[in-house]
A and B are shown apart, each in its own frame.
Chain A
Amino acid sequence: MAKKYSMIINLAKCIGCQACTVACKFQNKVPEGQFRTKTPANGLKGTYPNVSQYFIKEACQMCQKAPCVSVCPTKASYYNEDGVVLIDVDKCVGCKYCMTACPYDARFLNKETGAADKCTFCYELKVSKGEKPACVSTCVGGALMFGDLNDPLSEASQFLAKHKGEVRKPELGTHPNVNYIYEGVVK
């Protein structure tokens, strides 16, 4: 059965340590100054005693209706058999059309290859071998989860059954496969 891989980001547990950011750079040899994932602070809000701050991991949201895939003129951006959005570097001409279309600023032109680049869920290097993406296995706070939502027994499915996952910019109809849990943080 086809998989529906999803990442779950439990914001209350993220301490903003950037271990994921670094692990991704190691794993995927991302060029200097460029990031497939990063976890910036979401502004410091409020006044004492109600000051709040949280970190929000950003990367490709693995849209099931991905604008980047539909605009790509060469089909370099595509859904693989497990619904993961990937880029065929060989087909990519670097036109940046996908970058204008992605509403999550997830893409960049790789300085070394000239092709579009972004998070792959570590599909080829990890997930296809039954492992978790590098960021998930390294996460210090235990904020990241990964699994197949088509499998009701997976950790991800079980977790989402009990907690309310939200996707970013749902109004755009992109149907992301990355779920954020806002429980315990002040939005």
Chain B
Amino acid sequence: MDVIWGVSVDEVAWGGAIAFYLFLAGIAGGAFLTASMTDLFSKKQYPKVIQSGAYIAIVSIIVGLGLLVVDLGRPFSFWKLLLHVNMGSVMSIGVFIVSGFTGLSVVYGVLVWLNAAAQKQIRITSANTEVAATSVGQGLQAFRKPVAGLGILFSIGTATYTGFLLSAVTTNNFWHTPFMGIEGIPFLPILFLVSAISTGLAATLIGALNCGDLTTYKKIDMVLIILEIVLIFILYLSVKPVFFSGSMAVLFWLGVVILGLMSPLLLSIYSLAKHKNVILPVCGMVVIGGFCLRYFVVYTGQLFK
């Protein structure tokens, strides 16, 4: 800002790195949820989905945390976040949720990997080693379900946390928007949770392309997209129009609405009717749309007050 004449420049405290972090944390949560739910409820059918989700979760959360640390004013003091706790600060609570999630997703990923490796070995080795390999694997695999179960709680926690982080800023009119005007129920955690599951599922499916019939997943993703459209519509009605103006208008209408929601929805309806395989474009658009959403929310909340 100009000292004397008060010409303000559009400066935001949280920029692209934070938007990308929120997006990746959402992907990680959604991917973990996809993998662990599949694991718990229909293990045999979709081993590739489980692997894809488990690995994507690890990579996304670790890259996301890396971005977060690099964006700090003092990156080398990040450990102080673990040392000094403020239970009244959403970020402080989030540090522990995300750390727990990261730990669990790494453990889960290793278990999934060991299991996959063991399965492979069974196929290629003689009957003798088959017994040995499975017994070693089996011991550890007993932990897999509890880890998946606990991880589900933490992944939901991580995905909603990204929303609470912003909605807790009571002085920000956009971030603090309540759900349907109900004071006490913030909007963003709900929106970000749905978007996290949708984008995480989409990313997982991209990783498990051509792995049998994924129709069930496609249908779930369609439901999530519709749900998100409803939520975005409610958001649009709940806040002042200025938040959707200027440079943010393009991002919102083109990126979030058309690219991220409408196109994938129409394309998947078409594909279900015509039995065409369009997972890659549909899921690709959902993922990019999810990023646009985070970017839009992070920026518009700070640019217009």
Contacts and interface: CB of A to CB of B under 8 A. Distances in A.
A74 B84 contact: yes
Contact of B168 (A71, A92, A94, A99): A71
A115 interface: yes
A140 to B, nearest CB: 15
Contacts, number: 105
A43 B95 CA distance: 43
Interface in B37-67: none
B181 interface: no
Nearest to B92: A73
Nearest to A103: B171
A74 B81 contact: yes
B78 interface: yes
Contacts of B246: none
A172 interface: yes
B220 interface: no
B86 A100 contact: no
Interface string B67-84: 000011111011011011
Interface stretch (A6-14, A34-42, A154-162): A34-42
Contact of A92 (B4, B74, B89, B302): B74
A91 interface: yes
B1 A38 contact: yes
Contacts of B83: 74
Contacts of B4: 16, 18, 39-41
Nearest to B94: A73
A72 B14 contact: no
Given A16-B4, A38-B3, A101-B171, A93 B72 contact: yes
A30 B183 CA distance: 40
Given A70-B89, A97-B91, A101-B171, A91 B84 contact: yes
A40 B89 contact: no
Nearest to A71: B89
Given A35-B3, A93-B81, A71 B74 contact: no
A113 to B, nearest CB: 8
Give the contact-size bracket for chain B: 20 to 34
Interface in A43-84: 43, 67, 70-76
A92 B73 contact: yes
A174 interface: yes
A41 B6 CA distance: 6
A109 B12 CA distance: 12
A92 B2 CA distance: 27
Nearest to B73: A94
Contacts of A172: 170-171
B274 interface: no
B301 to A, nearest CB: 8
A22 B4 CA distance: 12
Contacts of A71: 89-91, 168-169
A10 B290 CA distance: 49
A100 B89 CA distance: 13
**What are the nearest 3 A-B pairs in CB distance?**
A94-B73, A40-B6, A99-B13
Interface of B: 1-6, 13-14, 71-75, 77-78, 80-81, 83-86, 88-92, 95, 168-172, 302, 305
8 contacts: A67-B171, A71-B169, A73-B86, A73-B89, A74-B86, A91-B84, A102-B171, A110-B73
